[in-house]
Amino acid sequence: MKKVIFILIVITLIFLSFRSKPEKIDYGVSFSAFHAQELNLNWQKTFDAIVHDLGVRRFRFSAHWPLTEPEKDKFDWTYLDYQINEAEKTGSTVILAVGQRLPGWPECHVPGWAQKLTKEEQQAEMLGYIRAVVERYGNARSITHWQVENEPYLTLFAKHICGNLDEEFLKKEIALVESLDPDRPIIVTDSGEISFWWKPYKLSDTFGTTLYLYVWNHKFGPIRYPVIPAFFRIKRNIVELAAGDKPVFLIELGAEPWLTKPIVETPLKEVLARMDIEKFNKVIKFAKKAGFETQYLWGAEWWYYMKEKNHPEFWNRAKELFSESSQK
């Protein structure tokens, strides 16, 4: 009997792992002025190189609250205006992320003035900032999706900074964006390796997953997640069977090193030990087999940083990917 059950489980997993291979993969990148500045880079020069040298035409931008509203009711649109204007001029597409929890450590980004408020006051101010962003860029032709928060259900990660998820408030954020721009789909994201996807999948019009193959754990040190590409195909097929079919993006493909301290404070030898060109190519190959038609790489600022450090191999390999990708 145990043997029969085992065989049935294997057959089921094989069935669930089947997914037709994409004829082509549309590649994009996440770009963050915040992250470029962490690397001591000129963020505009870095962004221009990504647009004009790499030839990227699919972007995910983040409206980090501290950069967008550094003082209460005083907005600084310098960063986003520049990025959106370049996207408009080059015919690029944009996913614009809003919320408290957005890409980049410390995960939850709250301006200093708002940190002094009560939870209720802070949430009211956050809704005001989200409204301001959506109203300012709602007419931009380049924006195809709004992303609300980033991996909001991944509460174990950075919990000492982000605290517990307020699910009702997340729904309020989504409802606000939908009311301001009912025609554009909402993306909600989740971890690819350690989450079940169920709740964010149901909340989203387009679901976004992350994929980080090489990470660092405070107990075990540098590790490679013990997963195979079929793991992602199975998860996607299960959630589609249970909650219906919808577009799914690989919204954040980890293509820079996961370190224990800032990149600029880490010796180059250690940086390359965590992510050399061989690992970079393994990440790309793995993601191709995972079956996602649209993939946004995380690390473009770092590729530029490494090029400036006389290690252009990551930048050059990425350029090959984007030349292969259909850029519309």
The hierarchical CATH code for the domain 25-324 is 3.20.20.80
Please choose, from the candidates 252, 297, 246, the residue with its C-alpha nearest in 3D space to the C-alpha of residue 27: 297
How far is the C-alpha of 266 from the C-alpha of 273, rounded, in Å? 11
112-143 burial, b at 16+ Cβ within 10 Å, e below that, comes to eebeeeeeeebbebbeebbebbbebbeeeebb
**What is the predicted pLDDT for the residue at 294?**
97
Q: For position 10, what pLDDT does the model report?
A: 40
Question: Quick one: pLDDT at residue 4?
Answer: 39
Cα–Cα distance measured from residue 253 to residue 251, given in angstroms and rounded to the nearest whole number: 7
Mean pLDDT of 125-148: 98
- Kindly report whether the global pTM for this prediction surpasses the value 0.85: yes
Helix (H, G, I), strand (E, B) or coil at 32: coil
Nearest to residue 122, comparing CAs of 72, 50, 63, 75? 72
> Hey, CA dihedral for 191, 193, 195, 198, is it positive or negative?
positive
> Who wins on pLDDT, 142 or 218?
142
Segment 161-168 mean pLDDT = 93
- H/E stretch holding 251: strand 248-254
